[in-house]
Structure 1
């Protein structure tokens, strides 16, 4: 029986520690191919490259097929599916991101966007993120990955939903369990530090932190705070059903000639 094909990508770059660990675990369940950015591409969201050439380089690695892409995380998935792979992968895995992707900040996430590209092509996918710590300790993360990847390879795993998995930094000591959660409303509050270069041109460095505004125990960021692995099932139907229900019958958009 042939092993399933698994596409592995991220937004931190093909040489990051997170993607190495994710690929090592995934390779226990199938044949993996890494197609990932050539450098850090955090915050690229669902962007694609339209007006520049996209470079592709095969990385010399005897034990693993790796391609480095001079493009966005979503570029990586599109190029893999359209140009590199002979068959459709059974699963797309993105991560492990070095830092959480929770709340509204997931809209900026290259990690989540690379996984969510799968919705458009009908392939199950998971985005993995580990809460940032000083040392980025990945101890015991493999246990979580094994459990969830095994589940995702089940025939009943949906191909129109992305699992956004966030793992607390306490995983190296203890976690309280795995919890299905809702996307929260926390925001990333940016601070733009203004600078001048030697030629007196203005430039900025961005900094900031997630503003925690949630207390609901079923919300992603709160689950993390309480020591749980958070799984948020994401779909990308962005229509406001509440607005439609409240306003569609009012008739104030009717057009009369």
Structure 2
């Protein structure tokens, strides 16, 4: 009898969401196949998830803190996108709806999905300052940003809204992870790209690995956020590898000085042996996991260099 009771208790504990987290999920693309797949995967694991994303696609806005309208959704800074879709991306909300609020798209009205007509960080801020206190009466346990539709590696990370979200949350002392997949995860019709589902399951696998080591403590140390990049055409048993923000410039961005003016992409040079662990190299074959510092403060050696270099000036 005691053995049966013990087995029943063990089974119930195993089935309970012992590691359930309160998660704010944001991105810089709005309502996407990647977002839906990750939300579904996290909910299936028992996590409580609030989605707070930009109304329209906001790639390349970095850490900008800008609202595009403050009363209702109008075609303003993102005029082309808003007019083309009659409102937020993939029908999350229509022109004329409040500038912030819950999705009005059928199937997304259960109270978990929200948009902000502004930059990615504004959406993350809304999740942290308004939605999380209303739901949990406290900050979330984790902020996930992404998965982005395209990898964020190399020098482009400073311009990434996906990275900007994670940095903003981590700056507030909240564990944060930026997730970026390939452009082969885009799906603007059914929101059901099979690659999105694989990336979502791999993201859950990463989260489980972090939880297993963290136990009841914070998932990440103070001052550390993660940048995770998935290969194109990922597989369910995709390998993982340590990586770092290095010197390899995958995208080789240049200013395009001909009409239409804007961004040009140059051919990157071959990676050197010293760049083998750069995330821009690693993600080609494995899931690249990179530790990011939070903010711009330099290591003690750099601080000491500055003290010595400007010693005479600083002592005035």
1:6-64 deviation line (CA, Å, top 9, x unaligned): 11110011x21111112112212411111000001011111102796372031132445
| Structure-2 change in CA distance of 1:79 and 1:256 (3 Å) | closer
**What does residue range 37-52 of structure 1 map to in structure 2 within 5 Å?**
37-49=54-66
1:80-112 deviation line (CA, Å, top 9, x unaligned): 211222221111111110111111211000001
Partner of 1:200: none
Cα distance in 1 between the residues matched to 2:248 and 2:185 = 22
Q: Which stretch has the larger CA shift, 149-158 or 16-25?
A: 149-158
Task: Choose between structure 1 and 2: higher helix proportion.
Answer: 2
CA contact (8 A) 2:184 2:233 kept: no
Partner of 1:11: 28
Cα distance in 2 between the residues matched to 1:56 and 1:213 = 45
Partner of 2:128: 81
Cα distance in 2 between the residues matched to 1:84 and 1:247 = 42
Q: Give the secondary structure class of the aligned counterpart of 1:53.
A: coil
Structure showing greater Rg: 2
TM-score by length of 2: 0.69
| Structure-2 change in CA distance of 1:169 and 1:246 (3 Å) | same
Count of residues paired in the alignment: 247
Cα distance in 1 between the residues matched to 2:266 and 2:144 = 26
Structure 2: runs of 5+ lacking an equivalent: 1-15, 72-98, 187-192
Cα distance in 1 between the residues matched to 2:24 and 2:196 = 21
Structure 1: runs of 5+ lacking an equivalent: 196-202
CA contact (8 A) 2:201 2:236 kept: no
Cα distance in 2 between the residues matched to 1:80 and 1:127 = 16
Q: Give the secondary structure class of the aligned counterpart of 2:25.
A: strand
Task: Choose between structure 1 and 2: higher strand proportion.
Answer: 1
Q: Give the secondary structure class of the aligned counterpart of 1:218.
A: coil
Q: Give the secondary structure class of the aligned counterpart of 1:48.
A: coil
Q: 1:97 aligns with which of 145, 148, 151?
A: 148
